[in-house]
Structures are given as C-alpha cells and as structure tokens.
Amino acid sequence: MSPAPGDEVWVEHPCYPLTHAQLLLAKVRPHAIPVDAQGMIVNTGRRMAPRAGAVFVTPSHQFPTGVAMSMARRLELLAWARESGAFVVEDDYTSEFRYSGPPLASLQGLDDSERVIYVGTLNKALFPGLRIGYAVVPRALLQAFIGARYLIDRQPATLQQAVVSEFMGQGHFAAHIRRIRQLYREQRDALAETLTRRAAGKLDVTLPDQGMHLVAYLRDGSSDVEIEAAAQRAGIIVRAVSRFYRVARPRPGLMLGFSGFPRQLIVPAASRLATLVANRGAN
C-alpha cells in the first residue's frame, strides 16, 4: 500500500516545513507525531494514526532539533512499518556531515522487508543550486518512482550528473567531504563554545553529532521570535525554532547554521548574539 490523496501519514513534529507543504500538495493527511530526545515517538504515532500509509523522518539529524533517532526507536518504527505495510521515507539530508559519536545504521540498512525509501542529496555537500538528489527505493516502488520522475520534469539534467560522477571517480568528492567535515566541526565547536561562554545560564546549547546547524534553547522561555527579529536588526540571521511547531507548545530556541561562515565570522557574530540574549533576559 502506498499513500494516495486522503490517506493518513505521519510526519515529525516539529518538522522540515517543505516536507509538510509537499504532503499537503499531495493531498494526504499529515499527523504531527512528536519528537523527543530519541526521535519520533512511534507509540504516539501508533495511537494517533494506526492506519497511516507512510511516515516521513529525518533519523540521523532530526530537522530542526538535531536529535539522532535511537536504535530502539529505529527498530520500533521498522517493526510498525512491517506490521502495517506502511512505507518509511528516510530523509538523510546531511549524511556526509557526521562529526562525532558512533556511526548510525540507516533505517534503509536495517530494513529487511523493503519498507524504506532512502533519500539523500548532493546539494548540501556540493552546492545548493546543483539540484541532484538520489533515492534507494524498494523494488515494488521502482516503476512508480520512474513514472513520477518522468512526470515531474521528464528527465534529470545529465550534464551535471556526468560532471559529478567524474568528480567522484577522480576522488575529489571524498577529499572535499573530508576537508569540509573538519572545517564544519571546527565551526560548530567555535559557535557552541562562544555561545556557552558568553551566555551561560541563558542558553542550552546542543552539540549535534551531525548536520549543518545547532539549536540553542532559551532557558528562561523568552520569545525566540522576538530574538530572531532583534538578531536580524543586528545583522545576524537566526531562525526561531517555534516557527517549526504547529500543534504542541514549542520549546523556544534558536536554530543556528554553522556551515556557511568561517570561524572568524562565526565567533564575533555568536558573541553579539549572546550579548543580545543575555541583555534581553536582564530587561
């Protein structure tokens, strides 16, 4: 069974807004399943929408919280998919950027029942305008995927694919990933250290093992949307985590990207942000 208009699906809450928007475009009914420190709470999904035909997850770096789905939850989710005949869409959008922690087994690798559709992207590892992604799909869905791809824009641009293939074949992609992974790790650490040092007591800074952003939660419950606006006036782009919540009460926090800027820019910007947060709390 694969979802058709009107069918129920599970989506993480909070979640990547474009996933939610795509589901609405597909006219399915997304159920917001909360995420805790172990990832999507499968039991809640079972209770809220036991007949869902698909589930959309970001298990290696939950968007936006950065939580990695625990092994217990991975197995629970796969067991539910097997029992119910649902498909799991595993959006592994930052697969190349793992900095620390044990290697994660993908849902697709753990799945022995052909229930998982694994999707990845090269637009983050290379550049956003490249528009090359990839999917590993169960055999039963292959023809449907080929048909849908053809309907979307007939065929992908082959020139870019040939260039990327050559780039990979000559070892440049692997070297590039090794280099930027190291760089991003340093940038992540510089951001986290600066915020923690300058706004201790005000921010709970999470240090994700993977990904291109971290979340700094506001300890005193101040409005993340107000801080987002104040930061923007000070020339610092942050995203209020509460914007990604639609149902339950959000935990206010700031989503901070660390991949796009060198350490020399991140440290002063993080200091200014920390001062801004600390001063607001004092008012």
CA 100 to chain centre: 17
Choice between 129 and 171, CB closer to ligand PLP? 129
Residues 74-113 that bind ligand PLP (CB under 6 A): 91, 93
Q: How far is CA 85 from CA 50, 79, 245, in A?
A: 11, 10, 28
Span of 75-83, 121-129, 221-229, 233-241 interacting with ligand PLP by CB under 6 A: 121-129
Among 123, 206, 222, 271, binds ligand PLP (CB under 6 A): 123
C-alpha to C-alpha distance for 255 and 228, rounded to whole angstroms: 10
The answer for residues whose C-beta is within 8 angstroms of residue 116's C-beta and 6 or more apart is 78, 81, 87, 88, 89, 90, 106, 107, 108, 136, 138
Tokens for 227, please give them. 């801080």
Among 121, 187, 194, 210, binds ligand PLP (CB under 6 A): 121
Choice between 12 and 199, CB closer to ligand PLP? 12
Cβ proximity of 37 and 206 under 8 Å: no
For the bound state, the minimum distance from the C-beta of residue 211 to ligand PLP, rounded and expressed in Å, comes to 9
Residues 157-216 that bind ligand PLP (CB under 6 A): none
C-alpha to C-alpha distance for 259 and 266, rounded to whole angstroms: 10
**Interior angle at CA 17, CA 26 and CA 237, nearest 5:** 155
Tokens for 7, please give them. 């069918």
Cβ proximity of 13 and 34 under 8 Å: yes
Among 17, 133, 260, 262, binds ligand PLP (CB under 6 A): 133
C-alpha to C-alpha distance for 96 and 154, rounded to whole angstroms: 28
Residues 9-68 that bind ligand PLP (CB under 6 A): 16, 58, 63
Choice between 245 and 277, CB closer to ligand PLP? 245
Span of 120-128, 138-146, 159-167, 270-278 interacting with ligand PLP by CB under 6 A: 120-128
Choice between 58 and 210, CB closer to ligand PLP? 58
For the bound state, the minimum distance from the C-beta of residue 35 to ligand PLP, rounded and expressed in Å, comes to 13
Among 5, 103, 128, 129, binds ligand PLP (CB under 6 A): 128
For the bound state, the minimum distance from the C-beta of residue 280 to ligand PLP, rounded and expressed in Å, comes to 28
Residue in the block written with tokens 């058709």: 4
Number of residue whose CB is nearest ligand PLP = 121
For the bound state, the minimum distance from the C-beta of residue 130 to ligand PLP, rounded and expressed in Å, comes to 8
For the bound state, the minimum distance from the C-beta of residue 129 to ligand PLP, rounded and expressed in Å, comes to 9
Query: Total residues at the site for ligand PLP (CB under 6 A)?
Result: 9
Question: 13 φ, ψ to 5°?
Answer: -130, 115
> In 10 A of CB 239, how many CB atoms?
19
Residue in the block written with tokens 């637009």: 123
For the bound state, the minimum distance from the C-beta of residue 233 to ligand PLP, rounded and expressed in Å, comes to 25
Residue in the block written with tokens 């005193």: 220
Which residues form the interface with ligand PLP (CB under 6 A)? 16, 58, 63, 91, 93, 121, 123, 128, 133
